[in-house]
Amino acid sequence: MALPERLRKEWFILGIALVIAAARLEPALGVKGGPLKPEITITYIAVSAIFFNSGLSLKTEELTSALMHVKLHLFVQIFTLVFFPTAIWLFLQLLSITPINEWLLKGLQTVGCMPPPVSSAVILTKAVGGNEAAAIFNSAFGSFLGIVITPLLLLLFLGSSSSVPFTSIFSQLFMTVVVPLIIGQIVRRYIKDWLERKKPPFGAISSCVLLMIIYTTFCDTFANPNIDLDKFSLIIIVFIIFSIQMNFMFLTFLFSTRSNSGFTPADTVAIIFCSTHKSLTLGIPMLKIVFAGYEHLSLISVPLLIYHPAQILLGSLLVPTIKSWMVSRQK
């Protein structure tokens, strides 16, 4: 079946590969203190631009219809921001005795701490014909919660850079995440009709800015001679990420289809995608803020960079199967 065009993220995945390759060839261009001045252009301007863009594109009026489905929202948010990071932490206690790169394992923990994305979970829920309003609400609400909860989870499970005090992290998050998001929502109120007519490519704009952030992050890595990434660890991490996604999707399916769950098949579809997908758009800027000064920041970022295309690929492949299940249940 033909999936929505926005699901075809090949250009973005290719973009990630290209910016990492560019960073490898000429890391001096994007390092801290280099010609691009990422400590200003990325840390403040690019991150603020992403969240202003999110505030501008977020249709708050669409969320009101889904607001009252409290049981579904609780399920998704508790699974995403409590169960997911805790389960990953327990799993990593076992993996810590293996020879897998410790920074990639820390990166797996950061994936668990991330909120749901605003786009992919909604697109896939819509492609199946599930409860789109619930998916929109939980993706947006989860992103708002993530602004506060994700940094706390990262600090709880991993600790922060000793050079960045707790208050500094949250003041920077407030100025570069919360304030631009609110300004975006205010501006949206005045130009809503124009936005509806023109439909600016919000997703593409955020993705391009995100590529800049990824580029400068890897410039710092390749400029550091002490960092080494072995292929064995990378292959194992890819396998683990696909396994985590499959198992968690199956787990949310089992929980939400129990006879006393009270969820419809359309609700289950929204739950499966919203509970297991993680936001790259929120994640990379947050890691950049919380782990400022970490020489291994890009290695910590790698699992999230893998998780993003993996969730879209896996979700796209499962759309026909989930759709046929939902249709058969509704009959």
Q: What is the DSSP string of 191-223?
A: HHHHHHHH---HHHHHHHHHHHHHHHHHHHHHT
pLDDT attached to residue 227:
61
Mean pLDDT calculated for residue range 232-249: 93
Asked if residue 245 has pLDDT above 90, the reply is yes
Taking phi over 0 as left and psi of -120 to 50 as alpha, with beta for the rest, 24 belongs to alpha
**Residue 89 burial class via C-beta count within 10 angstroms: exposed 0-12, middle 13-18, buried 19 and up:** middle
pLDDT attached to residue 280:
80
pLDDT attached to residue 65:
61
Asked if residue 2 has pLDDT above 50, the reply is no
- Per the model's pLDDT, the better-predicted residue between 244 and 189 turns out to be 244
Q: Give the Cα separation of 326 and 310 in Å (integer).
A: 23
Task: Name which of 34-48, 161-175, 240-254 the model is least confident about.
Answer: 161-175
pLDDT attached to residue 226:
61
Q: What is the pLDDT of residues 187-200, one digit of tens each?
A: 988 998 898 888 88
pLDDT attached to residue 92:
93
pLDDT attached to residue 118:
66
pLDDT attached to residue 14:
83
Number of H helices, E strands in the chain: 16, 0
pLDDT attached to residue 164:
47
pLDDT attached to residue 61:
66
Q: Give the Cα separation of 147 and 178 in Å (integer).
A: 8
Q: Give the Cα separation of 112 and 84 in Å (integer).
A: 6
- Per the model's pLDDT, the better-predicted residue between 295 and 112 turns out to be 112
Q: Domain ranges for the chain, please list them.
A: 3-330
Task: Please report, rounded to a whole number, the percentage of residues in the chain having pLDDT higher than 70.
Answer: 88
Q: What is the pLDDT of residues 54-88, one digit of tens each?
A: 778 777 665 566 667 788 999 999 999 999 999 99
pLDDT attached to residue 85:
95
- Per the model's pLDDT, the better-predicted residue between 54 and 7 turns out to be 54
Dihedral sign for Cα atoms in the order 69, 73, 75, 76: positive
pLDDT attached to residue 251:
96
Q: Are 230 and 311 in contact (CB under 8 A)?
A: no
Q: What is the pLDDT of residues 270-317, one digit of tens each?
A: 999 999 999 887 788 888 777 777 777 878 888 988 888 788 778 878
Mean pLDDT (the chain) is 82
| CATH number for the domain whose boundaries are 3-330 | 1.20.1530.20
pTM for the model: 0.75
Q: Identify the residue whose tokens are 């609110």.
A: 182
Q: What is the pLDDT of residues 123-177, one digit of tens each?
A: 788 888 888 778 878 877 887 788 788 888 888 888 754 444 556 666 777 787 7
pLDDT attached to residue 66:
64
Q: Which spans in 7-69 are helix H?
A: 10-25, 38-40, 47-57, 60-63
Q: Are 117 and 7 in contact (CB under 8 A)?
A: no
